[in-house]
Amino acid sequence: MKSLIIANWKANPSTLGGARDLFDLVAKGIKNEKKTEIVICPPFLYLLGLKSKISNLKLGAQDCFWADGAFTGEISSEMLKNSGIKYVIVGHSERRGNLGETEEMIGKKIKAVLRSGLKPILCISNLTQIKNSPKGVKEKIIIAFEPVSAIGVGKPYNVERAKKMREAIDYPFVLYGGSVGSRNAQDYIKKAGFQGLLVGTASLIPSEFIKIVKRIGNLD
């Protein structure tokens, strides 16, 4: 199976034009990379304004809601599905920490994403956070291990400790996230045994993100 590299743009950039420029630069740089699947997760507002002509470059959302109807401000998994989106990040630590997202809410979101036939990327920073994910569908859920201490700080998590976490997470597809850059990207796949990466800060710098993709694509 191909390695998966998710770009989490968070609340960036501040214009659709900026998002298009960033997306096009990444698309150009990775168009010959066949060994990786790349998923760009921009803010909701830009999803329909970005189009990929490359089969291994997909779009994902950074969150979703579990129902349609009277939920002001929300975007449901059904809307995402009907807009051609394939992947949805759920339970990012910034949402858990800053926006009060609870385990119960995250569990409902994962179920809704699965019901819509999309692929959930469940972000966890410890093993107890997996317990609310639906049972019996491990192969349909992508886990992203993101130690909070390593997110957005440019201080990557110790590779040996990451390896231990990978071994403890009994799911077939697990990503590492937290201060990933071109210098450490290969270590988390090759040494720690992850199946892919979730990249925040470095995904906003096209040359650096392309380098990460190429380094992973060059692994045998």
Q: Contact between 151 and ligand PGA (CB under 6 A)?
A: yes
Identify whether 92 is a catalytic site residue: yes
Contact criterion met (CB below 8 Å) for 153 and 179: yes
Distance in Å, CB of 220 to ligand PGA, minimum: 25
Site string for ligand PGA, 7-46 (x = CB under 6 A): -x--------------------------------------
Q: Contact between 201 and ligand PGA (CB under 6 A)?
A: yes
The conformation of residue 200, written as its DSSP 8-state character, comes to S
* Of 72-80, 105-113, 171-179, 212-220: span binding ligand PGA (CB under 6 A): 171-179
Q: Which is nearer to ligand PGA, 78 or 165 (CB)?
A: 165
Q: Contact between 121 and ligand PGA (CB under 6 A)?
A: no
Q: Contact between 147 and ligand PGA (CB under 6 A)?
A: no
Q: Cα–Cα distance between 22 and 205 in angstroms, integer?
A: 8
Q: Cα–Cα distance between 83 and 90 in angstroms, integer?
A: 18
Q: Which is nearer to ligand PGA, 75 or 199 (CB)?
A: 199
Distance in Å, CB of 204 to ligand PGA, minimum: 9
Identify whether 208 is a catalytic site residue: no
Q: With b meaning 16 or more CB within 10 Å and e meaning fewer, what string describes 104-134?
A: ebbbbbbbbbbebebbbbbbbbeeebbebbe
β-pairing, 57-61 vs 119-124, is unpaired
* Of 24-32, 54-62, 114-122, 194-202: span binding ligand PGA (CB under 6 A): 194-202
User: Which of these, 1, 15, 4, lies nearest to 180 by C-alpha position?
Assistant: 4
